[in-house]
Structure 1
Amino acid sequence: MAKKNVSLLVKLVSTATKKTATGEEKLTGCFYIKKRNPKKLTKKLEFKKYDPVVRKHVLFKEEKLK
């Protein structure tokens, strides 16, 4: 019998902001897709990864993948 794939795909979204032409700050919109095991991890994932929009390493937080 074949095993079921229990890993979930989650979206890691950048927490960095950039200024728009009107002066307000918005999120950059950069994201990564990552697999995670729901049985082992109970808290949300957080990674420090590269955001090409602001050209820095920033914190990426987990969101649901739609």
Structure 2
Amino acid sequence: MAVKKVALACSVCGSRNYMVTKKPTRTDRLQVKKYCKYCDSHTLHRETM
């Protein structure tokens, strides 16, 4: 069985920089402050489908 992954997209520029595993227990979308190499700063990244 393959592991399902979702992307984390930058809320400023929209680039999808990170991939995380999808957990069935998580009901809300994941939001994490991560470094975006395109914005050159730490921004909020949200889980995309």
Structure 2 length-normalised TM: 0.79
Could you tell me how far apart the structure 2 residues matched to 1:31 and 1:10 are? 11
2:31 aligned to which of 46, 55, 58:
46
**CA shift at 1:28, angstroms?**
5.0
Q: Which residue of 1 aligns with 2:21?
A: 35
4+ long deviations beyond 6 Å? none
Letter in 2 for 1:45: L
Instruction: Assess, with a 3 A threshold, how the Cα gap between structure 1 residues 49 and 10 changes in structure 2: closer, same or farther.
Output: same
Q: Which has the larger radius of gyration?
A: 1
CA shift digits 1:11-33 (9 cap, x unpaired): 100012xxxxxxxxxx2524211
Unaligned ranges ≥5, structure 1 = 17-26
Structure 1 length-normalised TM: 0.62
Cα RMSD for the two superposed structures = 1.7
